[in-house]
Amino acid sequence: MNELRTRYDVVVVAAGEMPKSSLANCILRNAAHVVACDGALESLLLQGIEPEAVIGDGDSITPRLKEKYKSIYHQVDEQEYNDLTKATRYALSNFDLGEKPAFCYLGAMGKREDHTLGNLSLLLHYYTHLHIAPVMVSDYGWFVPAKGSDSFASFPHQQVSIFQVDCKQLSSVGLKWEIYPFRELWQGTLNEAVGDCFAIEADGTYLVYRTHQPK
């Protein structure tokens, strides 16, 4: 069953709004590997955490920190991928992670709405093309990508949104309102779980959002 964990193979920390909850702190401190985008290094250090690697194109890190942490700083200048993807690709290339490793992204939402939307869309790219199991967590909830039929841990009155990408068949069990192959992104928002799990049957890919707290 697809549920939020507290231990991940890799936690990637981006330079958006860093979650402040005890859950996020637990995820960060229990990570097998921590990789920071260069703009997130300073905030991580303030929490007493030094990542194994810092990845970026160099435009979001101070010269002082770049010099001090040059042993773990890896500058990637190409602009085809953003820092979140560069950090993900670095982890896949440099850590022994096994098949379909679990990645958690913190600080990948907030501050810049365009960055948030871009990073959320990358979850599907990572899931489909990099073959990882990614989750993106904020203080309010979390996103996971899925493909085909799957079940998801929940609780009564948990708020749920489904953003489908290419499904021609889409249905659900355990949600307050039955879902269908939405034509617009907004049509799958503001649903609600009725029990301790729900199931989705689909023939394509989609994003699932669940809140930490019930309504």
Residue boundaries of the structural domains of the chain: 8-139, 148-214
Looking at residue 2, what is its pLDDT? Answer: 77
Are 37 and 56 in contact by the 8 Å Cβ rule? The answer is: yes
Q: What is the mean pLDDT of residues 189-196?
A: 97
Regarding pTM above 0.85, the answer is yes
Amino acid identity of residue 181, one-letter, is P
Q: Do domains 8-139 and 148-214 have the same CATH topology?
A: no
For residue range 7-55, what is the model confidence (pLDDT) as tens digits? Answer: 999 999 999 999 999 999 999 999 999 999 988 998 899 889 999 999 9
Assign domain 148-214 one CATH number from 2.70.98.10, 3.40.718.10, 2.60.120.320, 2.102.10.10: 2.60.120.320
Q: Any idea which fold 8-139 has?
A: Rossmann fold (3.40.50)
